Amino acid sequence: MSQIRLVADSSCDLLSLDGVDFVSVPLTLRTETEEFRDDARLDVDAMVATLRATKGRSYSACPNVADWEKAFGESGDVLAFTITSSLSGSYSAACVAKQGCEERDPSRRIRVVDTLSAGPETMLLLEKAASAQRGGASFDEVCRVVEELQRHTHLLFSLESMHNLAQNGRISKLAATAAGVLGIRAVGQASAEGTLEMLGKCRGERKTQEFLLQEMERLGYKGGSVRIGHCGNAAFSLELYTELRRRFPNADVRRYPLRGLCSYYAERGGIMMGFET
């Protein structure tokens, strides 16, 4: 197996990957008085509860150049993944770190992938990269596999609140009023440019589920891999999982609790779905 280090900022929702060298680079969530580092020690539920009770401003901070350089290590090939550059400076910081590492050691090959997404879609890309590496693929081959898969993955989300997104300028405050009013959920997607694109509003879980599944099929879903991340909404994620398996019995569908960064923006009740078409 070729020796490639896989690196991703913590928007990927992964702390480890079996059988490969993997490093997660934490983003940070901050209030005026507290800081939450999105690493293995973070109690996500406690963070979400604290932020819900916080009256003042909160915000996210991306890894800096030194954080990325440390994750890249002193030698060897690296394939790195970042949250969409449309919403964070993580990609820019990683590119500066790449340049510095390659200048110090010109033999190194470091590729930084702007996922144009986050969470479960990024997870699918990392899983594919790890699978290719375990299968003996070369660095160039792993990069090509990821590039090809990225053309066929998508991210949908359903949010009960968009307060944190609006507070951090990720969406307009006017758009944020769509969610959280009388049980209305905002449904959207990561656009081809990596921005958040709102698709509609749904009242109640049943209508939200049907809307999400219709959007998946509209985008070309026919039974590929699906990852469902949730923030304090295991019940709804199970309903989605169950219905997907009913419609597509052979699909590889998995669900999991979102980590810190994605929980911060999805907020309690939020769902993020990454899938392969």
Tell me, what CATH number does 262's domain have?
3.30.1180.10
Residues 261 and 194 in one domain: yes
Q: Each residue of 28-55: b (16+ CB within 10 Å) or e?
A: bbeeeeeebbbeeebebeebbebbeeee
**What pLDDT, on the 0 to 100 scale, is given for residue 46?**
96
160 in any annotated domain: yes
**Residue for token digits 């590492």?**
101
Residues 9 and 146 in one domain: yes
Give the pLDDT means over successive 10-residue stretches in the chain (277 positions).
89 97 97 95 96 86 98 98 96 98 97 98 98 97 98 96 74 59 84 94 94 98 98 98 98 98 95 98
Query: Which of 135, 150, 165 delimits the end of a domain?
Result: 150
Output the domain CATH number for residue 103. 3.40.50.10440
Q: How many residues does the chain have?
A: 277
Residue 105 token pair:
């050691």
**What pLDDT, on the 0 to 100 scale, is given for residue 1?**
54
Query: Which of 130, 150, 170 delimits the end of a domain?
Result: 150
55 in any annotated domain: no
> Using the 8-state DSSP alphabet, how is residue 87 labeled?
T
DSSP of 31-83, one letter per residue?
ESS-EEE-STT--HHHHHHHHHH--S-EEEE---HHHHHHHH-SSSEEEEEES
Q: Are 213 and 248 in contact (CB under 8 A)?
A: no
Q: Which domain holds residue 245?
A: 153-276
Could you tell me if residue 60 is left (phi over 0), alpha (psi between -120 and 50 degrees) or otherwise beta?
beta
Residues 226 and 115 in one domain: no
* Rounded Cα–Cα distance for residues 209 and 231 (Å): 16
**What pLDDT, on the 0 to 100 scale, is given for residue 174?**
57
Could you tell me if residue 119 is left (phi over 0), alpha (psi between -120 and 50 degrees) or otherwise beta?
left
**Residue for token digits 């293995």?**
40
